[in-house]
Amino acid sequence: MSKKSPKLRIIPLGGLYEVGKNITVIEYNDEIIVIDCGLTFPEEEMLGIDVVIPDITYLLKNREKIKGIVLTHGHEDHIGALPYVLKRINVPVYGTKLTLGLLENKLKEHNIQNAKLHIIKASQSMEIGQFGLEFIRTSHSIPDTVAIAIHTPVGTIVHTGDFKIDFTPINGEVMDFYKFAELGSKGVLLLLADSTNVERAGYTMSEKTVGDTFKDIFMTAKQRIIVATFASNIHRVQQIINAAVIFDRKVAVSGRSMVNVVNVATELGYLNVPEGTLIELNDIGKYPDDKVVVITTGSQGEPMSALARIASSDHKKMDLRPGDLVIISASPIPGNEKTISKVINKLFKKGANVIYEALADVHVSGHACQEELKLIHSLLKPKYFIPVHGEYRHLEQHAKLAEDLGMPRENIFLAENGSVLEFTEESGNIVGSVPSGNILVDGLGVGDVGNIVLRDRKHLSEDGLIVIVVTISKEDGSVIAGPDIVSRGFVYVRESEDLMEEAKRVVRNVLMECEKNHITDWATLKSSIRDALRSFLCENKRNPMILPIIMEI
């Protein structure tokens, strides 16, 4: 009986049913490569959480099989989890020069010095284990972006990464359509393609349209100009600098991530900054207002960002002046609309003029719209398709788009994070699942905050806390002192003295009842206090967290 040939396995551990946290495992014959390793930012209910990274339990269990991590580009949702992952799985990492330059910066912050980083170039081919890889130049909102073709004994997989089709890119390097067509002519088994902008008809505008808008705005502006954008959008930063140079303005940079990215991109040659253009933020007061541009972080209204601090008069190095022109060169990430609106309102109240996406073409997306996606599907002609990088609605819309182009629905897989998909030359199926989900990072703690802790934080944030302190005798269990009640975030004690006295009376009655029945067990005492007080407070439509503390002397 002949031995069955190994199957090709695709396991997305992130990036499905969500925007961000992109990571995909490709496995064949006991060898694994990983495409991207990103993070996402916390949702509103994730109180106190800094970032969210993927659950890599499957990779930890199979670490000896991993041959390398291959990166498509340098955005946080594709490289941001690597510092946390490389501490546990130190495998080779492959990426373009800018991508690894940005990653090195992050690794230094995490004091990781032994990472094995390998620079690759678009149009380069290489082998990692049994996988043959080709890197294909694409366009996105950051330079040095690649799609990846993975050649396996079962067939060729193409992972687009994030991309758009821009015929007039800022760096002049147009997407490599020839390579996509060549792969399609030879046969593609499976396509994994970016779904972020699939709901939008037509084409994404070229990044150069934003540059033209900047020039028009800068031409007539007489005050200081403050432009907020994503730190990683190096093409956008380049166009701001270009417009500043044309109109003889000096450029200062604000925000830690913006400073880091500008430094790395300039050192590596991805930003062209004429000598004498950049000045320190501390020195902007030395120049006339109509000769200054400040590029800053905070385009999503993040509370601790430079723009939010400027709007709140909380920035250490600059104050907003009436008449300052603020350009928010980004569109809101879903869920950030309110925070951005708050910042815009504060800016207007302080007398600034604010231009944002609804008022002018100051932003274009870095992701492909429907017609661009159709072109990639038509060039590659894949047998099977997995839509990636998007919420469920995006994945479903992308599946319908592929179906409209003639792909049988049974060849399209709406997978979830953790799904295990197996492929042969003639078949593809979802065959099971592996652990996946969110690992929450709070300060230096990775994974030590889970659902129970988040639930407690939510409870505290909504209902507050009551602490009851009681001192009892070690000999006979009688109450020596208390109960004393301390509240935080529950009621303003000075205006609720009657309620607090009544709460003390309830606790006192419980303690007397326990003493009468010779109950001295701490656990029983605490649960009795908690139950009685909760019952009393529920009558008053209150539900704080109740924390009894028993001291014995």
Instruction: Summarize the annotated binding site for Zn(2+) as residue ranges.
Output: 73, 75, 77-78, 140, 162, 389
What values do phi and psi take at 510, rounded to 5?
Answer: -65, -45
The strand pair at 428-433 and 419-423 is best described as antiparallel
- Which is catalytic among the residues 36, 55, 194, 324? 194
* Residue 194 bears catalytic tag: yes
Cα–Cα distance for residue pair 208/295, rounded to 1 Å: 18
Q: Which residues pair with 422 in a beta bridge?
A: 9, 429
User: Would you put residue 253 in left (φ > 0), alpha (ψ -120 to 50) or beta?
Assistant: beta
Q: Residue for token digits 């994994």?
A: 192
Cα-Cα-Cα-Cα dihedral sign, residues 148, 154, 155, 161: negative
Cis peptide before 483, with omega less than 30 degrees from 0?
Answer: yes
Binding residues are 48, 50, 73, 75, 77-78, 140, 162, 231-233, 363-367, 389, 442
The DSSP line for 405-474 is TT--GGGB----TTEEEEE-SS-EEEEEE----EEEEETTEES---HHHHHHHHHHHHH-EEEEEEEE-T
Distances (CA, A) of 298 to 20, 149, 289, 327, 328: 18, 35, 22, 11, 9
Structure-block tokens of residue 399: 């599946």
Structure-block tokens of residue 461: 């944030």
Q: Which residues pair with 294 in a beta bridge?
A: 226, 252
- Which is catalytic among the residues 159, 367, 377, 394? 367
The DSSP line for 258-284 is HHHHHHHHHHTTSS---TT-B--GGGG
Buried-state track 419-454, b at ≥16 Cβ within 10 A, e below 16: bbbbbeeeebeeeeebebebbbbbeeeeeebeeebb
Binding residues for substrate are 231-233, 363-367
Cα–Cα distance for residue pair 424/383, rounded to 1 Å: 11
User: Under a CB-based contact definition with an 8 Å cutoff, are residues 56 and 85 in contact?
Assistant: yes
User: Under a CB-based contact definition with an 8 Å cutoff, are residues 134 and 148 in contact?
Assistant: yes
User: Under a CB-based contact definition with an 8 Å cutoff, are residues 251 and 262 in contact?
Assistant: no
Q: 47: buried, middle or exposed (CB in 10 Å: 19+, 13-18, 0-12)?
A: middle
Structure-block tokens of residue 204: 């994404």
Q: Residue for token digits 């933020």?
A: 281
Cα–Cα distance for residue pair 294/250, rounded to 1 Å: 8
* Residue 55 bears catalytic tag: no
DSSP state of 476: T
Cα–Cα distance for residue pair 455/395, rounded to 1 Å: 30
User: Under a CB-based contact definition with an 8 Å cutoff, are residues 89 and 27 in contact?
Assistant: no
Cα–Cα distance for residue pair 208/272, rounded to 1 Å: 16
Residues designated as active site = 194, 367
